[in-house]
Structure 1
Amino acid sequence: MSENTPTPSSARPPKQSRTGLKSTGTRKAASKSNRSRAREFALQALYQHLVGGNDATAIDAFTRDLAGFHKADSAHYDALLHGCIEHAASMDALITPLLDRKMAEISPIEHATMWIGVYEFQNCLDVPWRVVLNECIELAKEFGGTDGHKYVNAVLNGLAPKLRAVEVAADKAAGAGAA
């Protein structure tokens, strides 16, 4: 074969598998916790609320019928969906000062992801702040725009010291630094 002849596919080394990731780069369903699944379904439901203005009860009924919902932590999903909708205005008031544009210009996926992060920072104290941050970044990577996860990271990382002051300070004191 000349050097310009393409290499047959059988001669190429096999692709290395990335544990926990599909070929698209998203996480495999089997590697997701029940709470991660709950966040995904809550994100989809909150998207319906933000984009369509749909009622929480109708969204909830629709979402519970989606494939795979039975694998999600339904109590966590309920808390996220109803808590985010109920406290949307106060959460937006926390988020808005950290934005570099108007809230209306934020993608609904990133907006809903930030709601989930703020809600968990405030109400799910059993979930470490770094886990909340990481889960929201992963949601934005999987469902949002190309660099939306960076925006979500910046906003939630900016809110963490305010909403989880003791925990963030303890991490910094232990040498963990900011995420």
Structure 2
Amino acid sequence: MKSARRRSRELATQGLYQWLLSGAPAGEIDSQLREGQGFDKADREHLDAILRGVIRDSEALSSQIAPCLDRPIEQLSPVERVVLLMAAYEFTCHPDIPYRVVINEAVEIAKTFGGADGYKYVNGVLDKLALKLRSAETQATRGAPSA
């Protein structure tokens, strides 16, 4: 059984995919998601935070992700791009969620919605991004001395 947070991430992925392709405003996307199947099982507060936060901060989040990529972010598949933006948002704005959970959830979302091997790319990028955005936490869990 999926957790309420997982369901909120899945819905956010769908909404952000729509935003990326259509440019629809967050309020319109939010309304459509609320009418969709599974909304009642989602963590509504987390869904709202991700959806609105990623749309609001997309340029800054893209800038954080860019150095970890092997190509311009615009060349990523829409699903990979959305998943990376969501994870970068959670790394940045939700320090209460362990970085390993953020990565695991992003990989699972990429497996569900992305191409055959897209999740591997997402995992590699997020490993690098975690070192940059959550350096103290990653060093502590990997047993390395803190800088």
Candidates 80, 89, 94, aligned match of 2:59: 89
Determine which structure has greater relative contact order: mean sequence separation of CA pairs < 8 Å that are 6+ residues apart, divided by chain length.
Answer: 2
Provide the residue aligned with 1:66 in structure 2: 36
Provide the residue aligned with 1:80 in structure 2: 50
Provide the residue aligned with 1:43 in structure 2: 13
Counterpart CA distance in 2 for 1:124 and 1:159 is: 15
Structure 2: state its 5+ residue gaps. Answer: none
Query: Any residues of structure 2 matched to 1:9-158 within 5 Å, and which?
Result: 31-158=1-128
- Name the amino acid aligned to 2:87: G
Candidates 125, 131, 135, aligned match of 1:161: 131
Counterpart CA distance in 2 for 1:170 and 1:103 is: 30
User: Which TM-score applies when normalising by structure 2?
Assistant: 0.95
Q: Deviations over 1:140-167 (max 9, x none)?
A: 0010001110111111110101111111
Q: Deviations over 1:61-95 (max 9, x none)?
A: 00111011010000000000000000000010011
- Name the amino acid aligned to 2:51: L
Q: State the structure with more CA Rg.
A: 1
What RMSD in Å do the two structures reach over aligned CA positions?
1.0
Structure 1: state its 5+ residue gaps. Answer: 1-30, 175-179
Ranges of 4+ aligned residues in structure 1 off by more than 2 Å: none
User: Which TM-score applies when normalising by structure 1?
Assistant: 0.78
| TM-fit CA distance, 1:102 | 2.0
Counterpart CA distance in 1 for 2:14 and 2:85 is: 12
Residue identity (%) = 47
Higher fraction of helix: 2
